[in-house]
Structure 1
Amino acid sequence: MTLQAQPAFLTTPGLSLLYFGGKGGVGKTTCACAAALEIAQRRRAETVLLLSTDPAHSLADALSGLALPPNLEMLELDAAAALERFRQRYRGKLEEIANRGTLLDAQDAQALLEMALPGMDELAAYLEMAEWIEQQRYGCIVVDTAPTGHALRLLQMPDLISRWIKALDALLAKNRYLRWRFQRDQRPDDLDQFLLGLERTRRGIAELVKDGTRCRFVPVTLAEAMSIEETEDLLQMLDGQGIMAQDLVINRMMPASDCAVCRVERQRQLRALATLDRQPAQARLWALPLLADEPRGEALLNVWSQAQRLDPAALREQGAPVANELPTRVRRPASLPPPSARLVMLAGKGGVGKTTFASATALRLRAEYPDRRILLLSTDPAHSLADCLGRAFGPRPVAVDTGLDAEEFAAEQAFAVLQQRYRDELRGFLSQALNNLDITFDREAMEQLLELAPPGLDEIMALTRVIEYLDGGAYDLVVLDTAPSGHTLRLLELPELIQEWLKLFFQLLLKYRSLLKVPELSRDLVELSKSVKRLRALLRDSRETACYLVTIPSALGLAETGDLIAALEQLQIRVSGLFINQLTPFDGDCALCDALHERQAREVAHAQQRFPRLTQTLVYRQSAPTGLDALRRLGDALYCPLEASQ
């Protein structure tokens, strides 16, 4: 059977929106850049946009000064700038809607919108992209998304915008009724037209992302067990949303080789791919090879010419058990967190091994401090702790080992519980009030009040869970497996924003206490406010918080690490050490391994020059450390003995 020579998304003429997504660090940016260059070359009469929605942008680093074709534009979406444009364009209309529709006075309504707007950066940026599509400004938009969890939030944005529009529409309901009641005027006014325009834009992109002839989502993965499992979850969620994924890219495939390292690595890849059994029936698998040099700059022009179609049936036949495994090799082990530490964070670019290192760290700390109760907590929306530890977890702590529990925190569920509690309490109070015109409409408007909370309030609840556990005495130490860089920074910056929003909400509850009695919600928000304040102090205390970064020896990986270090310094969070993962051991008999080793050695030397005061631990490629025994061995290798650390 002759297999198709190139992925269809490169040659489909009517394709107007192309997403590349998947676990962090798998090569989404490389694939997106290479696809945009190829599509621009094929569709010269159209303008193509290469767009990054990842808060930790790397398009410019990947393109590395490459001169773009005249019909290709590149944009690293600045959500803050998009928000400012949104403010300038719509501030007056939003304030007028709030003034007309709520029991709040003009000053309170304006303050509420000002507090909500800073958290609406992603929404504003998404609406901007939706308008470009509606106006047909570009023939095709190629999107380099954030890692899986936040890419799914992007795809769910039409539903989030719909809820936000409904909240604004509820504020206008009373005014709309009064115009009809006393003026018999049912014509949409300028505010109605504003909301209708937003809804039209939202509906257009919602229809587009589910149109398989105009929109495709291309998952990118590595041939590794954890990447494959996350990709299967992603495919299942895409299918549930009606979004087409006809092509699946397997990046960095090892070539067939007599080299012992390459042979073991390739066999492990084939074994991992043999488990890929939840892809759509018609999905096509494409392999891109592991290259000695990073595919940056001009090398991007040749990426898709090296793609090879894979036969799933043949993969299952080749995925035999591996006889030999790669040993754990670590140079310059890191110092353990101090005995006073109560919070240990593992952070970095997606796909570099944060979850593995967080799990290994938790087990090592458990061995060093047998009397301490330790929790391993994931705040990444695309959880992979269960895959790493080889057991299932839920939204509550589950025992992993004696004295060690693990939890994958479900931030959206926690916020949904808070919202429902507010609605139930508000309805109970308003049902006792007079059923007059004001109460009828104010009930619906005030029920929507939490929809104007800053996006990210759900995620900050994941971090305040840390304070709940530590101050409540449930645990002595929490090890945090964080989301990839861009969204970790957003999460760490949120306490300042959330604190201001809570302050305003309290002022409103106090000012309108005769009209808006929600004592249980008030108590919840008081506790949340206290936790946020305690969290800010904890993060900045180097005696109680240790932050380790994980990266890989590539130009893109180290560039993002530098940005993360600078941002953490701005937040007054001290970095305790840097793990450089996935180094290639020197073999001497393999041209590919030797070339990789030489290139990575240059990157390590550059990292030592760039971060001279930071302890840098070198971790070489090894067999997948899944399961408690393998993770314990890794934890023992990653850190110095306690006496040496002190």
Structure 2
Amino acid sequence: MDDAVTPPRLSFCGGKGGVGKTTCAAAAAVRAASEGSRVLVVSTDPAHSLADALAVELGPDARRVHGARGELYATELDADRALGRWLRVRDQAFHTIASRGTYLDDEDIDRMLSLSFPGVDELVGLIELLRLAKAHPYDEVIVDTAPTGHTLRLLEMPETLARLAQVLNDMHEKHRFLTTSLGGAWAPDAADEVIDDIAREAAELHAILTDRSRASFTWVTLPEELPVRESEDAAEAMAELGIALAVVVVNRVWPVPDRPCARCTPRVSEERTWRLYLARTFAGARVIEMPALLVEPRGPRALLELALAARDAEEPPTPPSGPAPGAAAKSARGFCLPISPSAELVLFGGKGGVGKTSAATAAALALAEERPRDRVLVLSTDPAHSLGDAFAAELSDDEQPVPGAPPNLVARELDAARAWASQRERYRSAIDDLFSSIFRGNMSASYDRIVLEDLLDLAPPGIDELLALVTITEALSPPARYDLVIADTAPTGHTLRLLELPAKALEWVHALMVVVLKYRNVVGLGDFASDLTDFAHQLRGLMALLTDPTRAAFVAVTRPAILPRLETARLVRKLKELEVPLAAILVNAVTEPGCGRCNAAVEVERSELVELSKLAVSQTRSKQLVKARAIYPGPRGANALARWGSAWFTDPRGSF
């Protein structure tokens, strides 16, 4: 087959937030290009950092990466633009299907199609990848994905598209029935062609993802318990989709220290255990190890050096024996996050892997103790939960007390699938009541019923953020009425999607209310209209709360390294645009002097701390950077988290 028409191989790079997916994807792309392949590397994460890793300016169109050997192109997917492109060629057909299969007129259909779609990244990610792959004679397309939960949703896209095709087909079936029953001859037209095209697209994407000769999957992890456990869960979920992992990258393997070190010696010993475990657990895949570097690699040259340093996993070395000196004793300074005593909602957000969950749990413990009369909920809205891991407790979608925590604190890990199933069944019952009471015996109405039930089975894009929004509003409203909700959010891009959602959801509610009122003589009002009115009221209340510095606070968590710092700066700018009050910037994992490597790390981090301090002074109310020292392993359990949180400190001089 000619190179110009040979489909490129898709190589996906996934993993828990903060494990180094972007760096590994970029490094793999630079190496493949240097070896003669024509390569495109694509970021599908809504909080793109591919440009930061490559040290180039990127946009939605593929650009040549100068400084890389060979042919390397890169792009950061613009989901809204991609969806607009996909819809434009199908717009007329969707109008036709909707007008034939529903009671909506052109005005109603235009209103609905013009609304924003939260979750567009997962909705069009694979479709846009396929378009980009076919636009140029690439040999390989390397995909830098969003963190675990959203990567799995991206890979479920073929099933979602197939369900969408089924909904459209059932909607159009009403037109076919009426045309035939009225004595006309029905013949397939452009609307049927679009339905068939979407079904074929779904089948093609599924075939590609499950064909090892056309798509491969690399999972990036760290030799630590939480990333390893999440990697196991992800591999199991992918296997259920018919997708197998080809490569497991164990990133940031710590070097053996030059002398016993309070920080490095126990880390090397603990990592050795998990490196051996990974080699056994993923014996069917190729396991590669990448070294931990003092400075995060940026630019093609540094990324190529990292790629060339990758080695197949071997028997890990045993760390040197001998006692490591204890860490210098630090006096507890008390909880120093500047959270208003009247705060009702505190959100913790930032780049994956910076310690958001640990920070949120430590803060929840401190705030619950400071406010003993208040009911406090700490809620995880990240689909890849680690709240229970931080508390060293089994948590679920049901609120429950935390072992060792103040009695007024409860915790919950939002189960979006369960919450959606509950909502779906509630509205399925409403549909049953509607059709049994109003449309009994109406044959054409049976098609309307099928369509409504199909729509309930089609999980909306952005469901995690949508249900997180609903859960937060319910927690702050009667009868739950918590006095304080602390949210441990998904990594940056999806956190921003959550913060933007109230305004977008209100647009949807208003549009639905117009339709419901317009067709009330056909479908009645019932509980649905009342629910919409209540939800609109809650949304307005939440929008007011999110911009009130006396009632809401956002804590941006980061690390003293260049890629997290650059993403934090973008996050801060977006928060300002959304008028969400930034209470503090918490920089986690600040290195203290110790062995030769630790001393070198202190010097490397110094300049990043200076830049983060400037950001804190200019953008936060406290005008100071809050810092947390690097400890290994991370704190687990209420007592350890409380001790860790009490040792956070502020120091405008940037010293210890």
TM above 0.5: yes
> Structure 2 unaligned runs (5+)?
1-5, 57-65, 651-656
The letter for the 1-side match of 2:488 is: D
- Among 502, 507, 525, the alignment partner of 1:495 is 502
Do structure 1's residue 629 and structure 2's residue 635 form an aligned pair? no
Do structure 1's residue 23 and structure 2's residue 33 form an aligned pair? no
The letter for the 1-side match of 2:286 is: R
Q: How far apart, in 2, do the equivalents of 1:545 and 1:321 lie?
A: 49
- Among 417, 425, 432, the alignment partner of 1:420 is 425
1:643 matched residue in structure 2: none
2:45 matched residue in structure 1: 54
1:288 matched residue in structure 2: 290
Q: How far apart, in 1, do the equivalents of 2:280 and 2:342 lie?
A: 45
Secondary structure of the 1:395 match is: coil
The letter for the 2-side match of 1:89 is: V
- Residues 272 and 374 of structure 1, relative CA distance in 2, 3 Å threshold: farther
- Residues 426 and 327 of structure 1, relative CA distance in 2, 3 Å threshold: farther
Q: How far apart, in 2, do the equivalents of 1:250 and 1:210 lie?
A: 24
Cα shift readout 1:208-240 (whole Å, capped 9, x = no counterpart): 111223212211111222222222221221122
Q: How far apart, in 2, do the equivalents of 1:115 and 1:320 lie?
A: 63
Q: Is the 8 A contact 1:333 1:638 kept in 2?
A: yes
Do structure 1's residue 536 and structure 2's residue 539 form an aligned pair? no
Secondary structure of the 1:581 match is: strand
State the 1:639 CA deviation.
6.2
Q: How far apart, in 2, do the equivalents of 1:67 and 1:444 lie?
A: 56
Q: How far apart, in 2, do the equivalents of 1:96 and 1:69 lie?
A: 50
Secondary structure of the 1:514 match is: helix
2:364 matched residue in structure 1: 362
State the 1:541 CA deviation.
0.9
Q: How far apart, in 2, do the equivalents of 1:174 and 1:17 lie?
A: 39
- Residues 389 and 179 of structure 1, relative CA distance in 2, 3 Å threshold: same
Do structure 1's residue 586 and structure 2's residue 593 form an aligned pair? yes
Deviates most, 226-235 or 120-129: 120-129
**Number of equivalenced pairs:** 622
User: What pairs with 1:258-269 in structure 2 (closer than 5 Å)?
Assistant: 258-259=258-259, 260=261, 261-269=263-271
1:383 matched residue in structure 2: 385
Do structure 1's residue 612 and structure 2's residue 617 form an aligned pair? yes
State the 1:305 CA deviation.
1.7
Secondary structure of the 2:75 match is: strand
The letter for the 2-side match of 1:410 is: D
Do structure 1's residue 301 and structure 2's residue 304 form an aligned pair? yes
1:464 matched residue in structure 2: 470
Q: Is the 8 A contact 2:164 2:458 kept in 1?
A: yes
Cα shift readout 1:219-268 (whole Å, capped 9, x = no counterpart): 11112222222222212211222211122111111112233132222112
2:32 matched residue in structure 1: 39
Q: Is the 8 A contact 1:17 1:215 kept in 2?
A: yes
Deviates most, 351-360 or 470-479: 470-479
Q: How far apart, in 1, do the equivalents of 2:322 and 2:171 lie?
A: 62
The letter for the 2-side match of 1:102 is: T
Q: Is the 8 A contact 1:360 1:635 kept in 2?
A: yes
1:475 matched residue in structure 2: 482
2:441 matched residue in structure 1: 435
Secondary structure of the 1:256 match is: coil
Q: Is the 8 A contact 1:34 1:303 kept in 2?
A: yes
The letter for the 1-side match of 2:394 is: A
State the 1:285 CA deviation.
2.1
1:9 matched residue in structure 2: none
State the 1:43 CA deviation.
4.4
The letter for the 2-side match of 1:492 is: L
2:576 matched residue in structure 1: 569
2:605 matched residue in structure 1: 600
TM-score between both structures, scaled by the size of structure 1: 0.89
Cα shift readout 1:468-523 (whole Å, capped 9, x = no counterpart): 22332542211110110010001110111111111111222222223224623333
- Among 499, 522, 531, the alignment partner of 2:529 is 522
1:165 matched residue in structure 2: 165
The letter for the 2-side match of 1:549 is: A
Q: How far apart, in 1, do the equivalents of 2:637 and 2:223 lie?
A: 18
- Among 323, 342, 345, the alignment partner of 2:344 is 342
Secondary structure of the 1:634 match is: helix
2:653 matched residue in structure 1: none
Secondary structure of the 1:515 match is: helix
Q: How far apart, in 2, do the equivalents of 1:212 and 1:322 lie?
A: 49
Deviates most, 101-110 or 16-25: 101-110
State the 1:554 CA deviation.
1.3
Q: How far apart, in 2, do the equivalents of 1:91 and 1:462 lie?
A: 31
- Residues 103 and 552 of structure 1, relative CA distance in 2, 3 Å threshold: same
Cα shift readout 1:447-484 (whole Å, capped 9, x = no counterpart): 34557896335523323322322332542211110110
Q: How far apart, in 2, do the equivalents of 1:322 and 1:531 lie?
A: 58
Q: How far apart, in 1, do the equivalents of 2:577 and 2:373 lie?
A: 35
State the 1:278 CA deviation.
8.2
Q: How far apart, in 2, do the equivalents of 1:454 and 1:282 lie?
A: 35
State the 1:627 CA deviation.
1.3
RMSD: 2.9
The letter for the 2-side match of 1:304 is: A
State the 1:524 CA deviation.
3.2
Cα shift readout 1:63-104 (whole Å, capped 9, x = no counterpart): 114524453210100112212323432222211221121122
Secondary structure of the 1:93 match is: helix
- Residues 293 and 616 of structure 1, relative CA distance in 2, 3 Å threshold: same
The letter for the 1-side match of 2:475 is: Y
1:100 matched residue in structure 2: 100
Secondary structure of the 2:268 match is: helix
Q: Is the 8 A contact 1:165 1:199 kept in 2?
A: yes
Deviates most, 114-123 or 252-261: 114-123
State the 1:584 CA deviation.
2.0
Q: How far apart, in 2, do the equivalents of 1:42 and 1:180 lie?
A: 61
The letter for the 1-side match of 2:244 is: M
Q: How far apart, in 2, do the equivalents of 1:527 and 1:39 lie?
A: 55
Q: Is the 8 A contact 2:517 2:525 kept in 1?
A: no
2:86 matched residue in structure 1: 86
1:128 matched residue in structure 2: 128
- Residues 240 and 119 of structure 1, relative CA distance in 2, 3 Å threshold: closer
Q: How far apart, in 2, do the equivalents of 1:131 and 1:422 lie?
A: 37
Q: Is the 8 A contact 1:229 1:387 kept in 2?
A: no
